[in-house]
Chain A
Amino acid sequence: MQKGGVGEKMLKFLFRVVRFLRKCIFSVLSVGPVPAHIAFIMDGNRRYARQHNLKEGAGHDAGFLALMSIVIYACELGIKYVTVYAFSIDNFRRRPEEVECIMNLMLEKIELMCRKDSIVNRHGVRIHFSGNLELLREPMRDAAKKLMAVTANNSNALLTLCVAYTSTNEIIQAIQKSCEEKWVENQEPRRVGRGPINLLEIEKQMDMAIAPDPDIVVRTSGENRLSNFLLWQSARSYLFSTLALWPDISFWHLVWIVLNFQRNQSRVEKKNKQV
């Protein structure tokens, strides 16, 4: 019994040391500009499962753990907004069994995150869902709304999960809403029409209006394309692609990404000064 107690104490001590070291490294990083918003295209879960001879769902499980780790590191570094591409509208075209598996897994994780002692609640992370939730089944939709409500008062950071999302769909919905609003505006007799629709009016209607534009867009597993993710918002973002599969993403990747971002920022600032 005593041995177990000592072992557990050693483990806790080790965790504290590791967290302390992490905080030291983050303090050094914080000397330079820290991104306010990082977006991730979480690619590579299935490849990870194949590599480790696991069942397909296990890759997505590992992916969820990686996501929670990244959220913790982001909170520690002071990154206020994290957005992840969890499930694209294009992904509905995959095998029905795979889609079903992913949906069930997401439902399970959402219910996990609703708990008071979940990582997101312990770290004060608010959750927001971006995407065409009408394309999801009702239990999933309800679970998503519940999670948003449960975490609504958390204010340390905002984690946006893009589910049933594509950027083109988001833009279409924003255009529809801004056309509707302009229509209503022009109908009201006392209000003078404010002229044609402008950029800010469309932006206001976007799902992603809840967060500023991402400073960095990261894609794992080596593909070099945006795949219909945050096309509007990433107009000026620093793009980073790593060969690491999403479940393999680690603290060191985040450090390296932020370092590269800082180096690029200083180059951009110098260029702007020359102009």
Chain B
Amino acid sequence: MLSLRLAIPTVNTLSPPKPKPKSGLVQTASNQTEIFPSRVSVPKRYGYKLQAATTDVANEEISVAGEFSEEEEELPEGLNKELMPKHVAVIMDGNGRWARQRGLPTSAGHEAGVRSLRELVELCCRWGIQVLTVFAFSYENWIRPKVEVDFLLSLFERTLKSELDTTSRGGIRISVIGDSSKLPASLQELIHDVEETTKDNSRLQLIVAVSYSGKYDVVQACRSIAEKAKHGNIQLEDINESLIEQELETNCTEFPYPDLLIRTSGELRVSNFLLWQLAYTELVFVQQLWPDFGKDEFVEALTSYQQRQRRYGGRHS
């Protein structure tokens, strides 16, 4: 009501974006290569992004997905290959609500969620995204009813077992981050086996955050550093961003910083997921519940991402 009378934008633009006209993409593509003019020194950790971008643009032979380039699909209309994010993070929210809306038990919602995840993994493989991190189970979720927690953990175990063959054949490397000490021993063992089996796969790295907390990730990195300092391996003055990056749980990947974070179900919060790593991540919040998040919604999120100008604190002009 108030915003109708006054010509001021009051809407929260973090709420689901509307896709902009296609012509905007061409403009963004030409700006993208000028994001880092010589006078701006890029923070060291983003050096790889600049290299990869210029390689893609200049050579067009080294594709992001490496030796699987011949299996890559044409991107849907409206998406630019050079502007695809290397690392996508997803907060898979809304399974419970989805089930309640249909009068189904929560477990049905989580199972539908697994199907959505399977579809997203496939899309990421086909479109050349290198890393996909998903927030499967937060450290804070342990307070949920035991029945639901037990179901979730057993669902995770079943899915890992049943998908192991598919992921191996598909060249997917699986890593699990989070405090695994609270997980049942059988699951811990399975996780270890799966990580070992898939560690040489290189088409897509799927990082599953289970019993994970962004704050505790930083705390465990800090403890690691404190130990090293105690044994004289490092001096306290040497603690810098790159040292912490090496100690965080996302050190299992070459690209620990997500370019894009998608959260489903309309909740506009980060909820203690990957705090350090999200410093410059583009955030996209979608209204759909996780089991309803499919190819169209992913394309919409990617389109929104590709239209953004990332400055990292600097200026374009």
Contacts and interface: CB of A to CB of B under 8 A. Distances in A.
Contacts of A226: 270, 278-281, 283
A94 interface: yes
Interface residues of A, number: 57
Contact of B12 (A183, A202, A242): A242
Interface stretch (B74-82, B115-123, B237-245): B237-245
Contacts of A186: 230
Given A90-B312, A183-B229, A223-B308, A238 B236 contact: no
A154 interface: no
A235 interface: yes
Given A179-B229, A239-B283, A243-B13, A171 B219 contact: no
A252 to B, nearest CB: 6
B275 interface: yes
B263 to A, nearest CB: 10
Given A90-B313, A182-B226, A275-B144, A225 B280 contact: yes
B9 A179 contact: no
B185 interface: no
Contact of B14 (A167, A198, A241, A274): A241
B313 A202 contact: no
Interface stretch (A3-11, A126-134, A253-261): A253-261
Contacts of A166: 279
A235 B275 contact: yes
A264 B12 CA distance: 12
A234 B279 CA distance: 11
Q: Which of B215, B268, B278, B280 has the most CB of A within 10 A?
A: B268
Contacts, number: 157
Nearest to A256: B10
Interface in B1-26: 2-3, 6, 8-14
A197 B219 CA distance: 7
B43 A240 contact: no
Contacts of A198: 219
B9 to A, nearest CB: 4
Interface string B237-272: 101110010000000000000000000000011111
A5 to B, nearest CB: 32
Contact of A253 (B8, B96, B282): B8
A248 interface: yes
Nearest to A46: B315
Contacts of B272: 235-236
A242 B10 contact: yes
B94 to A, nearest CB: 11
Contact of B225 (A167, A179, A252): A179
A176 interface: yes
A175 B248 CA distance: 13
Contacts of A88: 313
Given A196-B226, A199-B215, A243-B9, A227 B280 contact: yes
7 contacts: A88-B313, A93-B313, A172-B239, A199-B215, A225-B281, A235-B214, A243-B11
Interface of B: 2-3, 6, 8-14, 39-41, 43, 96, 143-145, 214-216, 218-219, 222-223, 225-226, 229-230, 236-237, 239-241, 244, 268-272, 275-276, 278-285, 308, 310, 312-315
